[in-house]
Amino acid sequence: MNNHFSLIRALLLLRKNFKESGSSYLLMFLAGLGILFLSYGLLIVASFHSMFPTGDRKMIFVIGLLLGGTLFSSSHYGFFKSEAKTIQFLLLPATTGEKLLVGFALTQIMYLIIYLGIFTGIDWLMCLTYNEFVAIPNWIIEQEKHYYQGKPIFQSDTILFKELVILYFITTSIAHLGSLSFIRNAYVKTAILFVISFIGIIYLNNKMLVMLIPEEIMPHGKYFTDSFRIGPLQQPTGIVTLPESWQLRISWFLPIFLYSSCWIMSYYKLKEKQI
Amino acid sequence: MIHFNNVSFGYTKQKPLYANIQLELKSGSVYGLLGKNGAGKSTLLKLMAGLVHPQKGLLTVCNANPMKREPDFLNQVFFIPEEIDTPNIHVLDFAAEQVPFYPRFNQTQFLDYLKELDVPMTKLNKMSFGQKKKVWIALGMASNASLIILDEPTNGLDIPSKRILRKLIASIVNEDNCIIISTHQVKDLDSLIDQIILVDNGEIIVNTDTNTIIEKIIFQHSNQQEISNSWIYHETSIAGHLFVKKREMEEDVSKLDLELFFNAGITNKIAIQELFNQKS
């Protein structure tokens, strides 16, 4: 035993976590599977006489990924409600990094892999069911019949998979930090704080722009700092855009900054946790 | 083994619980930490384990800073809290998951302790609170940690288990380890404790061994009606007075009555502190 990070000890911690919380994870898995199956199934059954639903199942995918992921992450340190379990966890001979790695593995890797696996499976099954039972109306012309063909979601070129995964990593990291910071109602408190901070940043950004430019300012663009409109809302007199190199930097810097900040804060929260 | 050097602590900065405490605990002893509800006993134990951090001063436990909660420190400390919460797995699986983290853990000892404490070999969720507590006690004892901290260990234990607990503690204490027991049930463990730490309102009133106590004070019973000024503390009943007073050289040593000593320390703090040279 030493005081430096040990991967073996981290794996032992992970095994301990699975052994002790395995039944809870199984229940969560079954509940998730049931909800996903039911909602997707209802959607498909309701679509047997219409075109294959594409937008709705993307919505189910996004809700399951983000809502499910954040709920799971925010419940990771739910045992902090019990002083005895908190004592046992904090005094278990392992480093903070090893303890944090368990949370990281579960919230950032395990959930994502399992969710994508489940969703892909259900999606494939539902496409198969739809293709088998779909009743194409007689008046549909041959060129439009392909709309009545179910294709797995990941073959669609309209889903922003990369962006969604990035969003998943960021939101679950925030939820994980919230779980460490709040003992009770971690999810609700984190969500409220997140919304307040987000609105606050947009508001302050706009205020700052107004102070810089003596005209009416409207934030505009993919990231609210990358471009803005000047002049009245009905008749803008121009759009000011950040140089392209800045935009590129912001698009990778902001997610990385948010993500790493959450995990660094989580590390110190856990290291300095008192009861 | 444990040194508190001018340590101050409070749950808020405005309301300190302990201010500049000096305390030293040595290995080879069973310490009894006594105090009223809310006196700060559990906080003192948490400070030693690194569960709360001092605001000021230097605290070293087993030559380490408990605040850092490093694995080499943590595997020397085993904390058995008052309330027990266990996962719903088999008792042996529960132990098997703890073993790799405690290099001196002895599986044979653990099984022996479970047997002695009459713990059923079943899932933890099928056990009563007392049985779960006994699993923790067995785990702590078998970890062979240098510092074993027990917060109200007899709460929830049946009468035979209390006797076995005393026997187990007596069997594991040696020159290299230290056992600290915080309790309200002094009668449960008074035969076991050889060092007393008495705390009240965040103040260490006494830190001394039981031999010093019986050398310095005597515990007696009086049938007389009148109360003597020399008494440090007394309790009146139909049968007369139970009292604590300073022992004179020529007087015989009396049997230690921990409950009476505790009440004396709480009620007449100054007299007890003066007697044990502990005025802080």
Residue length, chain B?
280
Span B9-33, average pLDDT:
89
The tens digit of pLDDT for each residue in B190-225 reads 788 899 999 988 888 889 998 898 888 888 888 877
The answer to whether the Cβ–Cβ distance between B81 and A87 falls below 8 Å is yes
Looking at the structure, tell me whether residues B87 and B225 fall in a common domain.
no
The answer to whether the Cβ–Cβ distance between B71 and A21 falls below 8 Å is no
Query: Cα B32 to chain center, whole Å?
Result: 4
**10 Å Cβ neighbour count for B232?**
20
Among chain B residues, the shortest Cα distance to A8 is held by B100
More confident residue, B278 or A142: A142
Closest CA to A266 of A89, A101, A27, A29: A101
Span B120-145, average pLDDT:
94
Residue A75 has which token pair?
């419940």
Looking at the structure, tell me whether residues B139 and B263 fall in a common domain.
no
Looking at the structure, tell me whether residues B189 and B217 fall in a common domain.
no
Nearest to B83 among A21, A84, A90 (CB): A84
Interface contact B88, partner A, CB < 8 A: yes
More confident residue, A209 or B274: B274
Name the domain boundary from B158, B174, B201. B201
The answer to whether the Cβ–Cβ distance between A9 and B101 falls below 8 Å is yes
Looking at the structure, tell me whether residues B86 and B161 fall in a common domain.
yes
Looking at the structure, tell me whether residues B137 and B33 fall in a common domain.
yes
Query: Cα A41 to chain center, whole Å?
Result: 23
Task: Assess contact for B82 and A82: CB atoms under 8 A.
Answer: no
Looking at the structure, tell me whether residues B144 and B197 fall in a common domain.
yes
Span B255-272, average pLDDT:
87
Residue B278: the pLDDT is 47
Looking at the structure, tell me whether residues B63 and B94 fall in a common domain.
yes
The tens digit of pLDDT for each residue in A180-232 reads 999 888 889 999 999 999 889 888 877 787 787 777 777 666 555 667 778 87
Looking at the structure, tell me whether residues B48 and B107 fall in a common domain.
yes
Calculate how close chain B gets to A3, using CA atoms only, in Å. 5
Span B261-265, average pLDDT:
88
Looking at the structure, tell me whether residues B267 and B135 fall in a common domain.
no
Residue B279 confidence (pLDDT) above 50: no
Interface contact B46, partner A, CB < 8 A: yes
Collapsed DSSP state (helix, strand, coil) of residue A166? helix
Residue A222: the pLDDT is 56
Our count of domains for chain B comes to 2
Report DSSP state, residue B5.
E
Task: Assess contact for B264 and B202: CB atoms under 8 A.
Answer: no
The tens digit of pLDDT for each residue in A42-61 reads 988 888 888 888 788 888 99
Beta pairing partners, B200? B203
Is B132 domain-assigned?
yes
Calculate how close chain A gets to B154, using CA atoms only, in Å. 16
Residue A221: the pLDDT is 61
Give the range of the structural domain holding residue B253, as residue numbers without chain letter.
Answer: 210-275
Looking at the structure, tell me whether residues B66 and B172 fall in a common domain.
yes
Calculate how close chain B gets to A95, using CA atoms only, in Å. 6
Looking at the structure, tell me whether residues B76 and B156 fall in a common domain.
yes
Residue with tokens 């739910």: A78
* Percent of chain A whose predicted confidence (pLDDT) is above 90: 53
Place B268 in a pLDDT band, splitting at 50, 70 and 90: confident
Among chain A residues, the shortest Cα distance to B49 is held by A91
Task: Assess contact for B56 and B19: CB atoms under 8 A.
Answer: no
The answer to whether the Cβ–Cβ distance between B71 and A93 falls below 8 Å is yes
The tens digit of pLDDT for each residue in A125-159 reads 998 888 888 878 788 788 887 788 888 887 776 66
Looking at the structure, tell me whether residues B69 and B123 fall in a common domain.
yes
Interface contact B146, partner A, CB < 8 A: no
Q: How far apart are the first and last CA of chain A?
A: 26
Nearest to B85 among A19, A82, A92 (CB): A82
Helix B107-116 to helix B91-98 angle, to the nearest 10 degrees?
Answer: 150
Is B280 domain-assigned?
no
Residue B251: the pLDDT is 81
Residue A225: the pLDDT is 62
Residue A233 confidence (pLDDT) above 90: no
* ipTM score for this prediction: 0.89
* Mean pLDDT score of chain A: 88
Domain ranges of chain A: 7-181
Task: Round to whole Å and give the CA distance between A99 and B2.
Answer: 27
Residue A219: the pLDDT is 65
In chain A, what residues touch B98 (CB-CB under 8 Å)? 16
Residue with tokens 């892909």: A120
Residue A104 confidence (pLDDT) above 90: yes
The answer to whether the Cβ–Cβ distance between A12 and B101 falls below 8 Å is yes
CATH number at residue B65: 3.40.50.300
Beta pairing partners, B30? B179
